[in-house]
Structures are given as structure tokens and as C-alpha cells.
Amino acid sequence: MKKILIFILIGLGNYWIWRIFETSLILGLSCIIASVGLSNYLINNKRYLLILSSALLVIIGLFQIKKFDIRSFTGTSALERDFIDKRMRLYPSPRVAHWLEQRPEAIAFYRFTDNSGEVLDFNYYFFANHPRERAAVTEYAKFPWFYLPPFLGGLYLSLKQKRNLKFHLLFMFAVVVTAAVYPNEPVGFVLVFPFVVSLSAYSVNNYVK
């Protein structure tokens, strides 16, 4: 009973899940069930829970990928092109400057690196992305700020146990896919949602007797 109450509090007691449900019922249910599976996997370490959660994460990922446009990943705005031109003047060779600054592969790499930083930024999830608010984006706190300590506690506890390696590999997969696709609001980095919920619930379950 305690586990159920804790999960309801964390899994449903946040603004993000309701924005997800507004976007898609299937996506919302997938997030909730994946969160339940990962939460129980951290406690019981049952293989079938990891398989179930992985399948649901694939479904969630497909929701993100279907809206992905490669041009948004390699294209540049006028402001970005101006910034690139200024950086290119610092290179000793125009050919090197072109390869490291103007090639689509280079642009994609830099964008992926920037996106990864955003996906791993706690402020995005708990503080409405402050102080890195994005222009033309309505930022909102996905989780209440006081959920951050339980999340960090769950992350710490899970890293202490070697048996959770597959969980963290799955987490890394979610981060990489999210950084590559960079989904828009209001759903945002929804592939990370089950991990925030499961780690937070794992922490609270360990400390609340």
C-alpha cells in the first residue's frame, strides 16, 4: 500500500503528466506504466519488468521521432550563421574552418552536445528551466522543486548497486534519443519522465518506513 501511495504522489502529483495526457492518452499511459515498471525493477530487479519498460520506452520514443525533422537538427538561423562566421575567422585554414563549423555533421554534433546539456539539466525538470529559459517557449516546472532531493537520492542509491547497470544503460539511451530528437513543448523530454518518477519513488520507498 505504501508503494502505491508513493507512486501516486510522485507519478500523478506533477504538472508534466497532465500535459502529456492532454497531448495523447496513449503516450500518458505509456509513461505511467513505464514508470511503474522501472520503479518495481529498481526494487525487485525482475527481468520482465525491464523488458516491459523497454518496450514502452520504445513506444514513447516513437511519439518523439515521428515529429522529428532532420532539417531542424542541421539547419541554422541567421543569428547562428553570423556566430559561425565569426568563429571561422579564428581558424588558420578556411578548409579546417569549413569542416569544423559549416559541415552539416559538425552542426549536428554541436547541436547534439547542446541538447544533451539541456536534457541533463535539473533546472529543466524542477525549476521551469531557469535561468536558461528559451525564447518563444512557455517554460513550466515539470515537477515541484521539492521532488529534486528524492530524485537525487534515488539516483545515488541506484548508482551504489551494480545490479542496476541495465537501468542506467536504459536511462542513457533515453537521454541520447531525447538529445537527438529534441522534442518540443508542452510534452518536452518525455522519454526521461519514467526515470525521474522511478528514481524519486525508489528513494522515498527506501527512506519512508
Task: Give per-residue pLDDT as tens, 155-169.
Answer: 999 998 888 999 999
Q: How confident is the model at residue 69, as a pLDDT?
A: 59
User: CB neighbours of 196 closer than 8 A, spacing ≥ 6?
Assistant: 125, 142, 143, 147, 151
- The residue among 89 and 181 whose pLDDT is bigger is 181
Helix axes 193-207 and 15-23, enclosed angle (nearest 10): 150
Distances, alpha carbon 206 to alpha carbons 2, 131, 156, 168, in Å: 11, 32, 12, 19
Maximum Cα–Cα distance for the chain, whole Å?
66
Place of cell 553570423: 82
Yes or no: say if 29 and 12 are a contact pair by the CB < 8 Å rule.
no
146 pLDDT tier (thresholds 50, 70, 90): very high
Residue 28 has pLDDT above 80, yes or no: yes
Query: Which helix (H) or strand (E) element contains residue 99?
Result: none
Q: Where are the domains of the chain?
A: 2-207
pLDDT for the residue 7: 86
Q: 69-96: per-residue pLDDT in tens?
A: 556 666 666 767 777 777 777 777 777 7
Is residue 181 within 8 Å of residue 68, measured between CB atoms?
Answer: yes
Residue 209 has pLDDT above 70, yes or no: no
Residue 73: what pLDDT?
Answer: 63
How much of the chain, in percent, has pLDDT values that exceed 90? 48
Give the model's pLDDT for residue 130. Answer: 81
Q: Confidence band (pLDDT; 50, 70, 90) for 110? A: confident
